[in-house]
Amino acid sequence: MHINNMASCSNRENVEEISDNNYMSSSVKKSKLKPNDDYVEMEDDDVTPLFQQGDFQNYGNTKVESNGDIMYNECNGFSNGNGSYSMESSMNGGHKLLLSNANGGKFYGGNMSLWTKTQQLPQEALKQIQTTYQTYGNHFPIEVRHYFAQWIEEKPWSQLDENNPQHEIYANQLLEELIQNIGTKAAELPTNDEFFILKLKLEEIASNFKNLYSSAPLQLVKVVKACLSVEEKLVDQVENPAPAMDNGEMGFSSEVNRQIQTEIECIQQRTQMAESDLKQLQNKQELFIVQYQNQLKVNSQLQQLNQQPNTQNRIETERKLRKQKEDIEKQLISKAEELLSLRLTLASKHQETFCMLDELQKKIVDGELIQWKRKQQLAGNGVPFDSQLLETLQQWCEALAEMIWKNRQQVLQVEILRQRLPIDVPPGRQDLLPELNQKITGLLSSLVTSTFIVETQPPQVLKKEARFTATVRLLVGGKLNIQMTPPQVKATIISEHQAQGLLRNDTKAKNETSGEILNNAGTMEFHQAKRELSITFRNMSLKRIKRADRKGCEAVTEEKFCILFQSDFQIGNGELMFQVWTLSLPVVVTVHGNQECNALATVLWDNQFAEPGRTPFKVPENVPWISMADLLSCKFQSMTGKGLTRDNISYLASKVFGGKPNDDYSQHVISWSQFNKDTLPSRNFTFWEWFYAIMKITREHLKSQWIDNSILGFVSKIQAQDMLLTKPSGTFLLRFSDSETGGITIAWVAEDTNKTGERTVWNLAPYGTKDFAIRSLSDRIKDLPSLVNLYPDIPKQQAFGKYYSAMPDKTNQTNEGYIKTQLIATIPIATPVPMSLDNPQSPPSFYGPPESPASSVYSAQVVTPRPYPDVASMDALDDLDMDALNTFPGATDYGTDDIDNINVNQLLYNAAPST
């Protein structure tokens, strides 16, 4: 359906519907509309769009054209009564096209045309449509897309191959038909002020199409297909949105991806059109040169005539030649002006393309690539990281490199044409060409140097003489054919001070080193399947390290280095030479395993709190606690499989700041000293050393139970006591030790043997890595009948049964006839315990071996500890080594501030062997 509605919104008594013959309709319909009518109804086949009359009351004098389901308001643009979006072409000369931003859902009818759906896109998508049509300018103005939407969408553009010369005949037919439709449309428009600009615009478009496409009609096919493709993609993205990512930090947002891809396609089309313009310029210049040669021939003939006798024939011939010379000169002047105009226009287009390339490169390299590097750095702290992001980045960078290279080649070709036929730029006109080559070459240089990256980082805690690996990639290497002469890459280790010198463009810094790395050089390889130009150093080893003079109390584990990767290569058959380098993330060099904990603290702090554009490798001394909490939780999750809860974070904050777990720490600030230099109160280790040891033992021995939430972990002794006293006897929980690093203790509630009718909470001495190397935590819990239910009320068989070790075989004998033994854990405290189904035995009434082997689930050897010292009174505690006491199985997890909570004399008396 295509109907032209001419109406005055200030006088709306009559609405005249005029058929547009150019748009497939051949009938003329007229209808009357009274001011009190609610709707204007236009029917055609099975589509009945309804427009509320009140929607147009503020539009002034209006011509409404319906194309399919599209309404176009000549004065104010497209509208559906729900708002509009301006989309002004640079070719409009003041005439605006306003695309509707429809309010949700479908518009009119069920079979909408592509152009109808395009007008209903969200604002961001409409901006991309606007950018697309502004890019094509004269080659395909948006006015043509609008007024001839149905004709355009009915033609088989997708079946035409713009690279197939055999399709040129049909493309020429489409071109002629389109030019004829444009001319007819322009002729039908009235010549009054309202349509005067549009009429001139359409006439100009028809003339431009003749000039642009008469010799290359397939270019029109190419441009139309590109525009329709952009529309189809955007419409499809709206109609079939991709599911949102759960973690936005892991990948590029779909909006960023769409914007960059649209800009790439837009610049690619501009580059192709510039190539077409360049060929046209070259053809016209060649024709000019041919005509100029003709003028030289005429001049030569005139010179020869001057040497001949002055006859009537000579005079007539000379007159004709001079007339011919005059005509040729006029044509040459006209063509020279045309050539100059084409050159200046092409230079202007290249300038615009350069600006677009520059903005796109900033978005990709200075934006997305920098974000990727930041994500790679945070991945060292355990933040999830999608390695496939680099593949998308490479595609973008390769597209950039290809477009920059093509535009640079075009500029060079224009320079060659100018050298062959110099034409002076008139006064007042800026000659853009001389600086364009320099600008585009600079853009290419920046892209190449920025895309030389460390794909796989070396270990950030780097142990001397240990083998390590790293991978370096050049993202644009394959597109620029650098693999034809594969470049060498060298790796060296440099200090923080030397890295700072590199960023100051200190030429000497590239040759400085702070150590010696073995196997540190190699040749980049091109992987054809993945189209990657990269090198993997698989067997590097740090043989020697030279440390700087330390400042104040700075430890060796706080000194930062990095690996410098350097390479030289050329592109374009030696036309351009590049020296590139890149730095790894900071590394801390250790010489012994016991330095790993503090070295990792330095690395984590640097990874988490490094600021963009910093001086290597400066980090703040104080950071918000909430940022530190994120770091601790991410690292704990990456090492153990489950992060920290809000209660866990609150407990850790109380550990650092000395408050209560339920206090508000959101505004607190933690310093580097509090994190890993100052020891905790009444302890000989720092907060990080304590936390690191917990991560280590959890990862190595307690991972499954931690993930299952069987380990409460981060809870104080007082909190554990309060929680357990509300539960039945035999209830227990697991918490990390406060007094020891890398220890986990079991707290349980039982009857107090000293006070009838009262209950108390007991704590086992912390288990460590060495203990779990002998017997697992789950098996130890199984061994202890005093432990019945895991807090709050989970039977221990249900919580830990799946982790129990397999039962020994029935024979319990080895091939040599020996009987196997099994270690079990016991509690050297007489506490009445209720019967447990998974431990069907009588509670032990004293510390010692079971009365008979049958009293255990299976035969086991009981390991009896060495006897305690005979302590008769509290005074003897002064001579008692408390650390040594902790080595006994019966020791408890108490600090000096908790010693009043228990009768030590009674405990030691009960634990001492009977004589």
Look at residue 307 in the predicted model and tell me its pLDDT. 80
CA–CA separation, 56 vs 341, rounded Å?
44
Q: Which two tokens stand for residue 211?
A: 């000039």
Look at residue 386 in the predicted model and tell me its pLDDT. 86
CA–CA separation, 20 vs 187, rounded Å?
12
Look at residue 813 in the predicted model and tell me its pLDDT. 61
* Better-scored residue on pLDDT, 272 or 3: 272
Under DSSP, the state recorded for 355 is H
Q: Per mean pLDDT, which range of 94-98, 472-476, 634-638, 685-689 is the poorest?
A: 94-98
Rounded average pLDDT over 387-404 = 92
Rounded average pLDDT over 718-743 = 93
Note the pLDDT tens digit of each residue in 323-372: 888 888 999 999 999 999 899 989 999 999 999 999 999 999 999 999 99
Closest by CA position to 450, among listed 535, 377, 361, 561: 361
To the nearest 10°, report the CA torsion of 393, 398, 400, 404: 160
3-state secondary structure of 661: coil
Rounded average pLDDT over 473-490 = 89
To the nearest 10°, report the CA torsion of 334, 339, 343, 346: 100
- CB within 8 Å of 745: residues ≥ 6 apart: 734, 735, 736, 737, 763, 764, 765, 766, 767, 893
Are 400 and 357 in contact by the 8 Å Cβ rule? The answer is yes
* Better-scored residue on pLDDT, 427 or 515: 515
Residue 801 has phi, psi (to 5 degrees) of -55, -40
Under DSSP, the state recorded for 837 is T
Look at residue 812 in the predicted model and tell me its pLDDT. 59
CA 858 to chain CA mean position, Å: 57
Note the pLDDT tens digit of each residue in 748-762: 999 887 777 788 999
Look at residue 733 in the predicted model and tell me its pLDDT. 95
When the pLDDT of each residue in the chain is averaged and rounded to a whole number, the result is 77
Cut 0.85: pTM above it: no
Q: Which two tokens stand for residue 323?
A: 């007339």
* Better-scored residue on pLDDT, 807 or 871: 807
Are 563 and 587 in contact by the 8 Å Cβ rule? The answer is yes
Look at residue 255 in the predicted model and tell me its pLDDT. 78
Rounded average pLDDT over 58-63 = 31
Residue 93 has phi, psi (to 5 degrees) of 60, 40
**pLDDT of 449 strictly over 90:** yes
Look at residue 51 in the predicted model and tell me its pLDDT. 30
Q: Per mean pLDDT, which range of 314-318, 544-548, 735-739, 877-881 is the poorest?
A: 877-881
Look at residue 694 in the predicted model and tell me its pLDDT. 96
Assign 860 a pLDDT band (cuts: 50, 70, 90).
very low
Residue 71 has phi, psi (to 5 degrees) of -110, 135
Note the pLDDT tens digit of each residue in 679-712: 999 899 999 999 999 999 999 999 999 999 999 9
The radius of gyration of the chain from alpha carbons, rounded to an integer in Å, stands at 42
**pLDDT of 69 strictly over 80:** no
Choose the most confident range, by mean pLDDT, from 105-119, 274-288, 845-859: 274-288
Note the pLDDT tens digit of each residue in 616-629: 999 999 999 999 99
Q: Which two tokens stand for residue 136?
A: 């094509």
Are 490 and 455 in contact by the 8 Å Cβ rule? The answer is no
Q: Per mean pLDDT, which range of 224-233, 274-283, 617-626 is the poorest?
A: 224-233
> In sequence order, what DSSP letters do the residues of 480-542 get, joined into one string?
TTGGGSPPEEEEEEEEHHHHHHHHTT-GGGGG--SEEEES-EEE-EEETTTTEEEEEEEEEEE
